[in-house]
Amino acid sequence: MTARFNSRQRFPVPVDALFEAHCDPAFQEAKALALGATTAKARRRDEGGSVVVEIDSSQPARWGGGEANAGTMTYRLDPAGLRGTWKRTQKGYEDRSRAEGTIVFRALGDGQSEVEVQGEIEIKIPLMGKMIEKKIVAAIDEQRAKEEATAADLLRQRAATKG
């Protein structure tokens, strides 16, 4: 089974500033840590006209059990099109899980912008996969407002240091 989600977040910055921040390892690390990661290490590389950003992070287990939730989020972004793809690889579950989708950055006018993330989550664990997929999508929805507020604060801080 596969669970799908769609998330839109608005920000008080121009779209080019939003895209630039998304490509910045320091921004990605700060965002991950502010959202509850206990460790976060990001890196960026330019590859054939695309920007590839990888964020390795870990956080405490979410739904019981003692194992930390660790993995790598990879964005492959097109600066010309202001869009890209994303993929989350979950450490220890690489062959039993899939999380991937698209990301689009849009200008809204008046110095405002939005990011739209669409994705699919697939957990290949007999009897429990569908339940886990639903919990993951619910957690994404639950954390959306906090993620938007955190990113907006970090974007304001970036703008203040550049201006």
Q: Which has more confidence, 77 or 162?
A: 77
The three-class DSSP label of residue 150 is helix
| Whether residue 82 has pLDDT greater than 90 | yes
Domain range spanning residue 103? 3-162
Residue 134: which CATH number? 3.30.530.20
| Whether residue 43 has pLDDT greater than 60 | yes
Report the amino acid identity of residue 153.
Answer: D
What is the count of structural domains for the chain? 1
Q: 90-112, pLDDT tens digit by residue? A: 898 889 899 999 999 999 999 99
**What pTM, to 2 d.p., does this model score?**
0.89
Contact 159, 17 (CB under 8 A): yes
